[in-house]
Structure 1
Amino acid sequence: MIRIKRVLVGFFSILALGYLGLMGAAFALQRSMLFPAPRSPLQEPPHRPGFRRLSPPGGPVVDVLHLPAEPGLPTMVHFHGNGEQISQLVELGEALHQRGVGFLAVEYPGYGTNPGTPSEKGLYEAAEVALADLRASGVGPESTVLSSRSVGGGVAVEMARRGRGARMVLLAPFTSVVDMANLVFSFLPTRLLVRDPMDSAAKAPAIGIPVLILHGDQDEVIPVEMGQRLGRLFPHATVEVVPGAHHNDLLERTWPVLIDRIATFARNGPEAPLSKGSP
């Protein structure tokens, strides 16, 4: 009996150590999973129209792609997904620019040619630098439309909470990093381990600006139910589910139609009937 107890104690000790090891690995590696940070071989932003580097005194270096709006029209400030960089957003920026809407894409620390290491705090700091530069050029919050894709939604929502924009567009947003982690690591205490929670769901009820959420019904990365849940949490949200769209082809699947939809929303034009999405 004593020998059996010793075997059981040893077995459960191994299990406990293995579980602790998984927790340690999840804590240590989570930022590389959340922010894979594609890098550019260039050392500086591309020498193309709209690309430039912001270097405010005492602040982080932030690369941006800025295509100014036509007089009287808003500027869309865009926060990209975790597998993108601003050099890949030229087509999106030009499409909106052709419709008169300004476009300002913000690079994250450690992405593209930006120095630094990505984190929730670092992404917010980069966003504030870009928005401050935009305000200095004469574009205030009342003419700013916050925009995002995937993980960028956490940045856009935080900037909206801080009063940095008059409208917001969220493409395939998640409710929080904790909720995303639970999809993959449901056997771990994710709420204790997550370092960058980006809890958009908790912030949404206090954000009263108009919000447009576009989400593919075949999204295999961020379930469409997350976008629908956010739509129910924002006081003034329109949720539009894109049939057949996955996570990485949400805009591209029906490109002209969705670009027109976003531009119309940004210009404060007629909106589709309010839809909170299905439960």
Structure 2
Amino acid sequence: MKNYSKLDQPERLQLIFNPRRCPITPLPKGAIDVHIEVAPDVIIGCRFYIHTPESPNILFFHGNGETVPDYDDIGPLYNHAGMNLLVTDFRGYSWSNGTPTVSSMLSDAEVLFTEIQNWLQFNKYSGKLFLMGRSLGSVPAIDLATRHENDIKGLIIESGIADTIPLAKSLGIPVDDVDFSETDGFGNIEKIATVKTATFIFHGARDEMIAADEAEKLQSFSGARTKEFIVIPGATHNTMITTGGRLYFETIKKFIDKVTGVTNWRRRRKTTNTYSAE
């Protein structure tokens, strides 16, 4: 694993992460909780919002100021659009224990991916698996995609990080006058360049935390053979869903359908039915 020691300094971690603790909350209808031990005595809480066992599965890593139960109103909207959504926390968030660091976020993500993949198979959730990361969550999502291209069908990045230094400045992390360069950062640019699996990147045009040109940079460096890029007019960092509305979910589902061949299958079925009717 890359050395993240300069990001893992306490004064930087307190600005990178913003953990909010809460007890386990009541489950929304159709959701279940999944708890994964990522290290001895460290349990990460996840919540699975279910459409059907055959629906595509999205393993979702949220932003630094969000928690699993923040998605209790959002998960059902993914379900309504025909997708299963599995949201995972970082250490110290919601009812997950431990203290978050950049290094642990990435090592935990590796364990989470393997355990959740096995859990989905054991419980017969047969839909294709996609990785999705929003904001800080783009870091573990992209990192996982570099090693698990044979296990996933696609990568989805919302409001993602390209270079680390612009984000550090937005968060108030001093980097100008200290021994810190882009090579000490998350490494999203060099990592996404190696990811060949289908990739969808979307961003808010008025994002005040991570500028839209950072998304353009991710898009330009992406090594994906199939890739899509959308900027949502008027959307800020935290208003992607409220600004995009129903189209937010439909656009994600359209990408998933395209990658999994559902659109082609529907077209073939329609053609066959028309021919038979004649």
If the TM-score is normalised by the length of the shorter chain, which range does it land in?
0.7 to 0.9
In structure 1, C-alpha distance between the alignment counterparts of 2:235 and 2:194, rounded to whole Å: 30
Question: What is the CA distance between 1:141 and its match in structure 2?
Answer: 11
Which residue number in structure 2 is paired with residue 12 of structure 1?
A: none
Q: Where does 1:57-206 land on structure 2 (aligned, <5 Å)?
A: 58=40, 60-136=42-118, 137-138=120-121, 143-163=128-148, 164-181=151-168, 185=174, 187-189=176-178, 191=180, 197-206=185-194
Identity fraction in percent: 19
The answer on whether the counterparts of 1:245 and 1:253 sit within 8 Å (CA) in structure 2 is yes
Instruction: Evaluate the alpha carbon distance shift between residue 59 and residue 104 of structure 1 in structure 2; reply closer, same or farther with a 3 A threshold.
Output: farther
In structure 2, C-alpha distance between the alignment counterparts of 1:193 and 1:243, rounded to whole Å: 29
Q: For residue 106 of structure 1, what is the amino acid of its counterpart?
A: T
TM-score w.r.t. structure 1 length? 0.78
The answer on whether the counterparts of 2:163 and 2:189 sit within 8 Å (CA) in structure 1 is yes
Deviations 1:109-147 (A, max 9, x none): 011111111112221233233322322231799821111
Question: What is the CA distance between 1:194 and its match in structure 2?
Answer: 9.1
Say whether 1:249 aligns with 2:234. Answer: no
SS in 2 for 1:191: coil
Q: For residue 130 of structure 1, what is the amino acid of its counterpart?
A: L
Deviations 1:169-225 (A, max 9, x none): 111111132342256545323625997x22110111110011111111111100100
In structure 1, C-alpha distance between the alignment counterparts of 2:263 and 2:242, rounded to whole Å: 23
Which residue number in structure 2 is paired with residue 238 of structure 1?
A: 228
Q: For residue 103 of structure 2, what is the amino acid of its counterpart?
A: K
SS in 2 for 1:91: coil
Say whether 1:261 aligns with 2:259. Answer: no
Question: What is the CA distance between 1:96 and its match in structure 2?
Answer: 1.2
In structure 1, C-alpha distance between the alignment counterparts of 2:10 and 2:78, rounded to whole Å: 39
Instruction: Evaluate the alpha carbon distance shift between residue 142 and residue 260 of structure 1 in structure 2; reply closer, same or farther with a 3 A threshold.
Output: closer
SS in 2 for 1:77: strand
Deviations 1:5-63 (A, max 9, x none): xxxxxxxxxxxxxxxxxxx9x954110100011221x2xx2242422322367473110
In structure 2, C-alpha distance between the alignment counterparts of 1:151 and 1:51, rounded to whole Å: 22
SS in 2 for 1:189: coil
Instruction: Evaluate the alpha carbon distance shift between residue 145 and residue 69 of structure 1 in structure 2; reply closer, same or farther with a 3 A threshold.
Output: farther
Larger radius of gyration: 1
Q: For residue 159 of structure 1, what is the amino acid of its counterpart?
A: L
Would you identify which runs of 4 or more consecutive aligned residues in structure 1 move more than 6 Å?
139-142
SS in 2 for 1:241: strand
In structure 2, C-alpha distance between the alignment counterparts of 1:154 and 1:78, rounded to whole Å: 12
Return 5+ residue gaps in structure 2 as ranges.
1-5, 265-278
In structure 2, C-alpha distance between the alignment counterparts of 1:76 and 1:169, rounded to whole Å: 9
Instruction: Evaluate the alpha carbon distance shift between residue 141 and residue 117 of structure 1 in structure 2; reply closer, same or farther with a 3 A threshold.
Output: farther
SS in 2 for 1:156: helix
TM-score w.r.t. structure 2 length? 0.78
Tell me how large the CA RMSD over aligned residues is: 2.8
Instruction: Figure out how many residues of one structure are paired with residues of the other and give that number.
Output: 243
Further displaced range: 65-74 or 176-185:
176-185
In structure 2, C-alpha distance between the alignment counterparts of 1:246 and 1:57, rounded to whole Å: 36
In structure 2, C-alpha distance between the alignment counterparts of 1:129 and 1:67, rounded to whole Å: 20
